[in-house]
Amino acid sequence: MRIDLTGTNIEINGELRALVAKRFAKIKRRVPEDVRCEVILAEEHNPKIADRQKAEANLHIKGGMINAKAHERNMAAAIGHIADEVVRQLNRRGDRARARSRAGAETIRHGHAEGAF
């Protein structure tokens, strides 16, 4: 998996790169190497916004895209939330695919094809 890291109103330093790499390591093990992930880190300048740190992840995978966004007071917490959200969405996607394949196997096993009488 290739991670493209972008910063808006924030300097992307080695510490942020290492934090993103650490939090997305679990995701990296679960997806193919040709998958691209865009991580956008931003800081809001409006003093009325309490949760000024914003993180967003867009994971481009086969069959669609997974998106996650988080607003926090701390950038590390925001990165953690988007990583957890991406893992949750990957789990959900995998569960649905397994359920569909089991349902298809059940109809074939019983000798019935969908839509046929």
- Residue 71 confidence (pLDDT): 95
d(CA 7, CA 76): 14
Contact yes or no for 78/57 (Cβ under 8 A): no
Q: Give me the count of residues in the chain.
A: 117
pLDDT of residue 102: 75
Q: What is the pLDDT of residues 86-113, one digit of tens each?
A: 999 999 987 777 787 777 666 655 555 5
Q: Does some domain include residue 97?
A: yes
CA distances from 57 to 70, 74, 108, 111 (A): 9, 16, 39, 44
Q: Is residue 9 part of a domain?
A: yes
Share the mean pLDDT of the chain: 88
Each residue's pLDDT tens digit, 22-49: 999 999 999 999 999 999 999 998 888 8
Question: pLDDT exceeding 90 applies to what percent of the chain?
Answer: 66
Q: What is the mean pLDDT of residues 51-64?
A: 93
User: CA 93, CA 88: separation in Å to the nearest integer?
Assistant: 9
Q: What is the predicted pLDDT for the residue at 73?
A: 93
Question: Is 43 inside a domain boundary?
Answer: yes
Q: Rounded to two decimals, what is the model's pTM?
A: 0.81
**CATH number of the domain bearing residue 44:** 3.30.160.100
Q: 116 in a domain, yes or no?
A: no
**45 is in which domain, residue-wise?**
2-109
- Using CA of residue 39, residue 45, residue 49, residue 53, what is the dihedral sign? positive
**What's the structural domain count of the chain?**
1
pLDDT at res. 55: 97
pLDDT at 27: 93
| 87 residue type, one letter | V
